[in-house]
Amino acid sequence: MTTVRSVPTGRPAPQEHAPYYGKYIALVPEDDALAALEHQWIEAAAFLRTIPEAKGDHRYAPEKWSIKEVLGHLADGERIFSYRALRFARKDQTPLPGFEENDYVPAGSFGRITVADLIGNWEAVRRATLTFYRGLEPEAWTRIGTANQQAISVRALAFVIAGHGAHHLEILKTRYL
C-alpha cells in the first residue's frame, strides 16, 4: 500500500531560488509541483514516442544539439536537479557545484543510443523523481541548500525540473519537428 503524504502547495517564493530559475518556474502552470511533474510525464511520454528514429540525429541549425542530445540532456538535467533535492531534503548542507550542460552533452555520446532508449531513460528518471518527491515529508519540501553558489529549495527544484522539461519539450515541438 502506498502512503500519500500532503505536500506544500503553491509556487516557490523568490528567495527559494536564484533569479535564473524563474524562467523555468514560470513555465509550470500548476501550483502543485508534484501534479505538474505527473501531468508532464504522461503528456511528454506520449509526444516523445512519436519521434521517429530516423530523426534522432536531426539538428534544427548547425552547432545545435540533435534530438538525441536534447533527450539525453533532459534525463541528465533531471538527475542532477533530483540529486540536489535529495541532498537538501535530507538536511545535507554541503554546497554542491554547478554543472556545465555544454560539457555533459558531448560526453554523453547520445548519438550512439536509440531514440527509444533515450526516451526510456528519461521516463525511468522521471519515475524515480516522482517516487522521491511522493515520499517526502511536508517539511522537507521547504528545506534549502546551496547549488552552484545559489540557495534553492527542494520545492523550487521540483518546479525547475518541470519547467526545464517544458522548455525543452517546446523546443523539440517548434524547432525540431
Q: What CATH number should be reported for the domain holding residue 155?
A: 1.20.120.450
Residue 8 placed within a domain: no
Q: Which helix (H) or strand (E) holds 150?
A: strand 150-153
Q: Which helix (H) or strand (E) holds 46?
A: helix 33-48
pLDDT of residue 3: 53
* Alpha-carbon dihedral sign for residues 86, 90, 92, 93: positive
Instruction: Report the SS3 class of residue 141.
Output: helix
Residue 6 placed within a domain: no
Residue 5 placed within a domain: no
Residue 62 placed within a domain: yes
Residue 152 placed within a domain: yes
pLDDT of residue 107: 97
pLDDT of residue 1: 44
Residue 12 placed within a domain: no
How many domains, in total, are found in the chain? 1
Residue 18 placed within a domain: no
Residue 102 exposure: Cα atoms within 13 Å on the Cβ side:
2
From the first residue on, what is the mean pLDDT of each consecutive set of 10 residues in the chain (177 residues)?
59 96 97 96 97 98 97 98 98 97 97 98 98 95 97 98 98 97
